[in-house]
Structures are given as structure tokens and as C-alpha cells.
Amino acid sequence: MTESDPANVLVVDDESSICWALERLLSEEGHHVQTAGSAERGLEIAAEQPIDLVILDVRLPKQDGIAALPEFVRVTSGAPIVVMTAFGDLKTAVAAMQNGASDYLIKPFSLENVTQTCRKALMAARAHQRANQEPEAAPSSKSDAPAAVNQLVGTSPAMQQVFRQIALVADSDLSVLITGETGTGKELVAAAIHQHSRRRDSTYLPVAPVAMNPDLIESELFGHVKGAFTGAAADRAGLFERAAGGTVLLDEIGDLPLGTQVKLLRVLEQGEYCRVGDVEPKQADVRILAATHCDLSAAVRNGTFREDLFYRLAGAQLHLTPLRNRPEDIGPLCESFLKQWNYPAAADAIQPELLSALAARPWHGNVRELKNALQHASVVARGRPLVISDFPQPTPGKSESASSTDVVSRLQADVARWMKQQIDSNPESASDLHESFLRVTEPILLEMALEQTSGNRVKAAELLGIHRGTLRDRLRTYGISEGSEKERLPKK
């Protein structure tokens, strides 16, 4: 079977509109698509004929998708299964991956997203077949997972993506770079990755090299031998040795000295390190997670962070959105914190009016600031429903100019990530990336310019600094017509 061969795809969803849309989309891709409205019917179809890919909804009328997953893996002899759900939390995402799903789609999804996910799943399955390996057995359902795993709260699409990413990376030994402003929950995410990994019963060690004595960072991380430096009176194990079998979180990785970065790269690439003063390499049996609130790609450009280490870490990157850009998480976060503190009638303590007032705040310190402010307010309110005057004043943020620098830095980091993703997803046939990039980004520029100028093409061309003939040609290329500007803009 080659990449371009049609595949037998089974879509299992009780929403007929979803079945219809996926059937049309995947048929256009050349696949044979069958649909089923329940897990039971889907399993009957899969038992009757070979299936190459299953797209399975979580909420189904009788047996739900997660419970039916191992049976789908079994009857399809290990075909990739993409799970879809309208409301993902960390538990569902992890359960899907642990029960044998190969990927996870969050509704509502774009058709582009579905196509890409299915292509990726089929490519991986075919590479697997070509390698002539036995199909993997369905992993057993791990109902004995720790009960208190779901500490990360959030219902926003951004948090659901985070849950999905945690579930995707947790079971591997991949190092993950967790980025996001201060207080967005990077350390909590690192702990969740460890909790859901096969290393969960071993040590989880979060360390912040920035808090260590700069002269002793390497000795702290890798250990030292007696006499390595003045004061090294005996051999001493470092953090990597103490966390053997487990996971180390290197917090504020951007502050790691350049010399230590080289040694860390050796751990990541060769799985070994030397104690300070020793030449005998030791095997590093640790999973490394790294977190930073600063823009590492800018640090690479400034020469304070090694490019090779950045790309080694940024292979799996998980970004946490600032709280101000996901205000729908404020309510669930407040309720969860109030419940943790046994606040009376926690579910009703935050009324819609207060929620709107809280959503309007900038939360520069993100969830940490919200948690602290809520704690203050709950003390002031003494058990009654909270009001905005119970809360302390918001903390001042950075200046506007600093935040526009942030936008540029983030954009540059995103472009670098996009480029890497394109190359990684298709290493052999990546080409025309400059054109592809323009196809993704140029329509946004054109549409924004037209929106700003209320559709006046002369003014829009001026704003963009291009000739209006060029603008007309580009609009035609992308199929942007006078009336379509608004529709094509990303939903806010």
C-alpha cells in the first residue's frame, strides 16, 4: 500500500451531519468511507471487512467511544483510530490515548484539520505496515491511574488543545518544551505529563537552575567527583542521578549558562553525561521537560541560547495561552479554587456580573494572579457571594511597546515552528515552503487591509505598500471577492 492508495475509513458518530461532512471530505480525498451511528454498529462493520482508519466520536448512544476503543483496535488489527470529542478534558484525552487512539480531534474542527490528521494517521499506519511489524496489541485500559490527576482546569479551546497535547506526548519519552507567560500553569502541565507517563511511579523533580549558585549549577545537575573543585570533599550524585527512572523539569531553561547547555544537549542526544571532574560517562535515565516564560527563539538570535538545543527541545512544544485570551476559563478556575478551599456554596459564589468584570481584567500574572486575588476576595467576603470590590486592584502590566515586541517575537517563533512542522511532517517531499507560507499568511494581510479600509482597494493597496494591480491579482489568486472579506477572517 502506498501513501496515495485509497483507504477504507470508518466514521462512527451519532450526529448524521458530522458523518455526512466527513464522508464527503474523505471521499474527495479518494477514500472509501462508511459510517455508523453507534459503536456497536461500527464494530459490526469493522468485523466484516478490513478497515484502515477509524474516526470515532466519544459520546455515542450506548457504549461510548473511549470504552469501545480497545475493541476497535482489536477488530481492525491495530488500525489508527482518531477520537473526536466536543468537550475535551485532560482525563478524556489521556483515556483516549491510553486505550489505543492515535490522535484526538476537538469539535468544532476545520476540515483542513481533519484532512491533515487523517493523512498523518494513515501515513504512520502505512509506514508501520511497510516495516512488516506485527500490529500493536491494544494497550490495556489503565483504570488504576491516580484519581487526583485532573488538577488542570479549563474548558477553553486553548486548554483543550493543551489536554490533547499532554495526552499525545505523555506516554513517550519525548522531551517537551513548555512555554507561556508567568503563572499560566507550565509547572502544572509538566507534573501532568509526568503523572500520565510510564515514569509516574518514579521521581518527578522540578528544578530551577536560575535559583542555584551559578558556580555549582553543573555539579547540582550532573554531580561531581571528590576533588573536582575546592570544597568537593566527596563524590556526590547530581539531580539527574537522583531522578533516575523519573522526570526532571528544568524550569526557566532560558537562563541556563551556555556551557551547561552543551552538556544538556549531550544528555538529550546521547543519553549520557559526566559528573564534574570525571571522564567516565554515565547513562541518563531521565525524561527531560523544560519550561520558560521567555522567548527562546529571540534568545537564540541574541546568542544566549544554543540553536541546536532549542531545536532539540522545540520538537515537542506546548504553549499555554495567557488567561486574558481565554476568559471562559475564569469561571471554572474560580469554582475549582473555591471548592478546594471549602468556600460555602462555591458553585454560586461567582455570579455572571462578577464574571464579566473579572473577564475584563488583563491578568498579567495569569492564573497565579487570579488565584491570589480570589483568595483575598474570599477572605473579605466571608462566605457570601463575591463582588468585584472584594478583589484587589489588578497588577500593572508591561508597557504597550513591550507587548508589541512580544507579538513580533511570538510571531517569529511561530514561523520557525511552522517551518519545522512542515519539514518534520513530510521530510522527504518538503518543497515550495516559501510559497506555502505565503498561501497561509498572505490572505490574512489582504483581508485585514480590506477590512481596515472598508473594502476600498486603492487604500488597501496603499496600506500594504503594493500596486493596486498586484492587489487585484493576489485577491483573485486567493479567491477573495468584495463580499467575502469578513467571512474569511478568523473568528475572534
Ligand X SMILES: Nc1ncnc2c1ncn2[C@@H]1O[C@H](COP(=O)(O)OP(=O)(O)OP(=O)(O)O)[C@@H](O)[C@H]1O
Q: Is the dihedral of CA 339, 344, 346, 347 positive or negative?
A: positive
Q: Which is nearer to ligand X, 46 or 253 (CB)?
A: 253
Q: Which is nearer to ligand X, 186 or 263 (CB)?
A: 186
Q: Using CB under 6 A, which of 42, 70, 80, 180 touches ligand X?
A: 180
368 is a contact residue toward ligand X (CB under 6 A)? yes
Can you list the positions of beta strands (E) in 296-380?
317-320
CA 288 from centre of chain: 17
Q: Which is nearer to ligand X, 151 or 470 (CB)?
A: 151
Q: Using CB under 6 A, which of 371, 417, 420, 459 touches ligand X?
A: 371
177 is a contact residue toward ligand X (CB under 6 A)? no
Nearest distance in Å: CB 134, ligand X: 40
Choose among 96, 94, 106: nearest CA to 170. Answer: 94
The whole-angstrom separation of Cα 179 and Cα 169 is 15
Residue for grid cell 508591561 = 398
185 is a contact residue toward ligand X (CB under 6 A)? yes
Judge whether 80 and 53 are in contact, CB under 8 Å.
yes
Q: Which is nearer to ligand X, 29 or 89 (CB)?
A: 89
Letter for the amino acid at 40?
E
> Which parts of 361-431 fold into alpha helices (H)?
366-381, 400-425
Judge whether 46 and 71 are in contact, CB under 8 Å.
no
Nearest distance in Å: CB 185, ligand X: 3
Q: Which is nearer to ligand X, 126 or 293 (CB)?
A: 293
186 is a contact residue toward ligand X (CB under 6 A)? yes
187 is a contact residue toward ligand X (CB under 6 A)? yes
195 is a contact residue toward ligand X (CB under 6 A)? no
Three-class DSSP category at 29? coil
Judge whether 30 and 6 are in contact, CB under 8 Å.
yes
The whole-angstrom separation of Cα 196 and Cα 490 is 34
Q: Using CB under 6 A, which of 184, 195, 197, 378 touches ligand X?
A: 184
Site string for ligand X, 273-302 (x = CB under 6 A): ------------------x-x---------
Q: Using CB under 6 A, which of 42, 78, 80, 183 touches ligand X?
A: 183
Residue 353 cell numbers, joined: 456580573
Piece in contact with ligand X (CB under 6 A), picked from 29-37, 97-105, 145-153, 211-219: 145-153
Judge whether 193 and 170 are in contact, CB under 8 Å.
yes
Nearest distance in Å: CB 153, ligand X: 4
Letter for the amino acid at 14?
D
Site string for ligand X, 153-172 (x = CB under 6 A): xx------------------
Nearest distance in Å: CB 187, ligand X: 3
150 is a contact residue toward ligand X (CB under 6 A)? no
Site string for ligand X, 311-350 (x = CB under 6 A): ----------------------x-----------------
Q: Which is nearer to ligand X, 210 or 387 (CB)?
A: 210
Longest dimension (CA), the chain: 77
Can you list the positions of beta strands (E) in 1-52?
8-12, 32-36
70 is a contact residue toward ligand X (CB under 6 A)? no
Question: Cα dist. 199→8, 202, 205, 405 in Å?
Answer: 36, 5, 12, 39
Residue 375 cell numbers, joined: 483568595
Close Cβ partners of 395 (under 8 Å, ≥ 6 residues apart): 364, 365, 369
Q: Using CB under 6 A, which of 63, 182, 304, 409 touches ligand X?
A: 182
Residues that bind ligand X (CB under 6 A): 151-154, 180, 182-188, 291, 293, 333, 367-368, 371
